[in-house]
């Protein structure tokens, strides 16, 4: 398991194995070890519990990066974050349907930046 490779033995074999099922204890240890930075205390505020529609076993982290842009800054202070369950991708067909509904014969789609 990942926990056995990345984490010290005292983390992966602590009291969780005596009170939880062994498989669950191993998975939780792996999760904590994935967010752990060497030589720093473990920051459990970096853990988010998410409901996943498609369930399968994953060793490591599941990252949702759908609304991030590659040119986005890595650090931001005093900001607001909007997370929504809406596609933020440019979709040509929605533009064409809206154009037809408004009755515009002169609608044209030239660039995705428009």
Q: Does 22 map to a domain?
A: yes
Q: What is the pLDDT of residue 26?
A: 74
How many other CB atoms sit within 10 Å of the CB of residue 4?
A: 13
CB distance 3 to 29 below 8 Å: yes
Q: Is the dihedral of CA 99, 105, 111, 114 positive or negative?
A: negative
The pLDDT of residue 46 is above 60: yes
- Tens digit of pLDDT for each residue in 66-92? 556 667 677 777 776 555 555 655 555
Give me the sign of the Cα torsion angle 16, 18, 19, 20. Answer: positive
Containing domain of residue 29, as a range?
A: 2-46
pLDDT of residue 1: 45
Q: Of 93, 89, 110, which is closest to residue 101 (Cα–Cα)?
A: 93
Please, which pLDDT band fits residue 96 given cuts at 50, 70 and 90? Answer: low
DSSP code of 37?
Answer: P
Higher pLDDT, 81 or 29: 29
Domains identified in the chain, total number: 1
- Helix, strand or coil, per DSSP, at residue 27: helix
Mean pLDDT of 29-38: 73
In a domain, 16, yes or no: yes
**Is 7 within the bounds of a domain?**
yes
Residue 104: pLDDT band with limits 50, 70, 90: low
Domain assignment of residue 6, yes or no = yes
Q: What is the pLDDT of residue 9?
A: 45
Is 8 part of any domain?
yes
Tokens 């062994």 belong to: 22
Picking from 48, 49, 83, 91, the residue whose alpha carbon sits closest to that of residue 67 is 83
Cα separation, 13 vs 57, in Å, equals: 21
77 domain-assigned: no
**Segment of 11-15, 24-28, 59-63, 103-107 carrying the highest mean pLDDT:** 24-28
């Amino acid at each position: 398991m990942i926990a056995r490779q990345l984490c010290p033995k005292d983390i992966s074999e602590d009291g969780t194995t005596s009170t939880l099922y062994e498989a669950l204890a191993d998975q939780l240890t792996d999760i904590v070890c994935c967010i752990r930075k060497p030589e720093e205390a473990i920051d459990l505020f970096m853990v988010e519990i998410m409901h996943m529609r498609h369930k399968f076993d994953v060793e490591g982290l599941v990252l949702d990066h759908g609304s991030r842009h590659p040119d986005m800054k890595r650090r931001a202070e005093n900001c607001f974050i909007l997370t929504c369950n809406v596609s933020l991708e440019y979709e040509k067909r929605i533009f064409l349907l809206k154009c037809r509904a408004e009755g515009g014969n002169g609608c044209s789609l030239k660039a995705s930046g428009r």
